[in-house]
A = this chain, B = another copy of it.
Amino acid sequence: MTPRPADAAILAGLRVVELSAFVAAPLGGATLAALGADVIRVDGPGGGIDIDRWPLHNGRSLYWAGLNQGKRSVVIDTRTEVGRRQVAGLITAPGEGGGIVLTNLPVKGWTSYEELSKRRADLIMMVITGDRDGGTAVDYTVNAALGFPWLTGPEGLDGPVNHVLPAWDAMTGYLAALAILAAERHRRRHGEGQLVELSLSDVGLAVAGHLGLLGEAILEPEPRGRFGNEVYGTFGRDFETRDGRRVMVLALTARQWASLGEATGLTAEFAAVESRAAADFRKEADRWVHRRPLFEVLESWFARHDLADVRKAFDSHGVLWGPYQTVKQLVADDPRASTMNPMFSEIEHPGTGRFLTAGSPLRFGAAPALPPRPAPELGEHTDEVLREFGLLA
């Protein structure tokens, strides 16, 4: 055990080679990079299949810039024998924190665990696939299979509603990063590397299980339907203010429920509903079951109040609520999305410009936070990295 160098980030000493595209694996790599791991993304000439993905600015991909923050970029042509040797050499280069590869590209032949682990026996290889059997699946097909599009969206709508957030990708990326740390702990304790596998569809299925949705669909003859913006099983919904803004309001706890009554002055009206229904609104389930008359009372209250009044009343009473914002409104108005939030800095992204950029959301008391870094230019570190690992052709 050694004393910690004062300036060492929490994942200092870890080195991950990333062969990737799209969201899950790049986000896993970016997550580790933001915590101080040396993450080296390897692409072929011209870049990966995701190099030009929308949204663009000045013709450059903001998507690529976001998902590859803080990495080093190496371009190697693996159609040549020399290139394949270089990539294999990089992945299996010696060093206590090295010998780790993260990929969501097809692995076979020279990129297989079997072949690469011949060059470094304690190799850790994290492979992300679509389906568990290696079949192709992406966030959008997994989401369609899981049932969420029939639960999301306005009540009475005819058809599924996809959510725009690639949530399964993001969760898979985070789990892959977690798995790398678990495997590295194992290697540190037992000297042994391993192949780790994770599929997007298994992540979706496991989460659907954790949330009780699989059990519900198996055990209940009539599982839940679609409830629009109402939060199933509790008190929560959107409302429109007099000035046409929308707010999300919840009462998950008895205290939050009491606050909502106090902030709106509707305690007596809520109690009247409670008494008529013979309900106990200190209970979450009762607030859900009898939500309709409560929503009516609140709708007419919101129709008489502007967002500014709502904010004042709700914040002073500790109501659980928040305004809906477009992304434009978020970056214009919300102090959490500004340099007032220490997670953010304005930094220059080569080719696209200077804009507000986040570092890791994780704050470690015993390790300094790394300031956010832009994505590299494609191939920016090719020479540097090949030289560093003695792999120049």
Distance between A15 CB and nearest chain B CB, rounded to angstroms: 14
Q: What 1/0 flags go to A103-140 for Cβ under 8 Å of B? A: 00000000001000000000000000001100011101
A327 touches B217 (CB 8 A): yes
Cβ contacts under 8 Å, A223 to chain B? 55, 327-328
B10 touches A198 (CB 8 A): no
B186 touches A4 (CB 8 A): yes
Give the complex CA separation of A7 and B42 in angstroms: 36
Contact with A325, one of B147, B165, B181 (Cβ below 8 angstroms) = B147
Q: Is A304 an interface residue (CB 8 A)?
A: no
Having A161-B161, A218-B355, one finds 6 other A-B pairs with CB under 8 Å, namely A30-B210, A63-B211, A67-B210, A150-B326, A174-B175, A202-B336
Cβ contacts under 8 Å, A240 to chain B? 159
B188 touches A188 (CB 8 A): yes
B233 touches A144 (CB 8 A): no
Q: Is A349 an interface residue (CB 8 A)?
A: yes
A189 touches B334 (CB 8 A): no
A343 touches B132 (CB 8 A): yes
Closest to A199 in B: B361
Q: Is A94 an interface residue (CB 8 A)?
A: no
Q: Is A391 an interface residue (CB 8 A)?
A: no
Cβ contacts under 8 Å, A284 to chain B? 52-53
Cβ contacts under 8 Å, A175 to chain B? 31, 174, 361-362
Given that A178-B177, A229-B161 are contacting pairs, would A55 and B214 also be in contact in the complex, using a CB cutoff of 8 Å? Answer: no
Residues in A323-350 with C-beta less than 8 Å from chain B: 323-331, 334, 336-337, 341, 343-344, 349
Interface centre among A2, A67, A174 (most CB of B within 10 A): A174
Distance between A57 CB and nearest chain B CB, rounded to angstroms: 5
Give the complex CA separation of A145 and B231 in angstroms: 16
B161 touches A193 (CB 8 A): no
Per assembly, the copies of the chain total: 2
A132 touches B198 (CB 8 A): no
Q: Is A213 an interface residue (CB 8 A)?
A: yes
Q: Is A25 an interface residue (CB 8 A)?
A: no
A198 touches B362 (CB 8 A): yes
Contact with A232, one of B148, B164, B330, B344 (Cβ below 8 angstroms) = B164
A238 touches B144 (CB 8 A): yes
A66 touches B174 (CB 8 A): no
Closest to A367 in B: B186
B163 touches A206 (CB 8 A): no
A196 touches B322 (CB 8 A): no
Contact with A206, one of B140, B150, B343, B364 (Cβ below 8 angstroms) = B343
Interface of A is mostly: mixed
A66 touches B211 (CB 8 A): yes
A154 touches B161 (CB 8 A): yes
Contact with A67, one of B179, B181, B211 (Cβ below 8 angstroms) = B211
Q: Is A265 an interface residue (CB 8 A)?
A: no
Q: What 1/0 flags go to A212-249 for Cβ under 8 Å of B? A: 11111111100110001101111010101000001110
Q: Is A184 an interface residue (CB 8 A)?
A: yes
Q: Is A363 an interface residue (CB 8 A)?
A: yes
Interface centre among A136, A163, A236, A323 (most CB of B within 10 A): A163
Q: Is A152 an interface residue (CB 8 A)?
A: yes
A182 touches B11 (CB 8 A): yes
Cβ contacts under 8 Å, A149 to chain B? 229, 238, 324
Closest to A238 in B: B160
Q: Is A190 an interface residue (CB 8 A)?
A: yes
Give the complex CA separation of A189 and B279 in angstroms: 56
Q: Is A102 an interface residue (CB 8 A)?
A: no
Distance between A169 CB and nearest chain B CB, rounded to angstroms: 9
Give the complex CA separation of A189 and B11 in angstroms: 11
Q: Is A45 an interface residue (CB 8 A)?
A: no
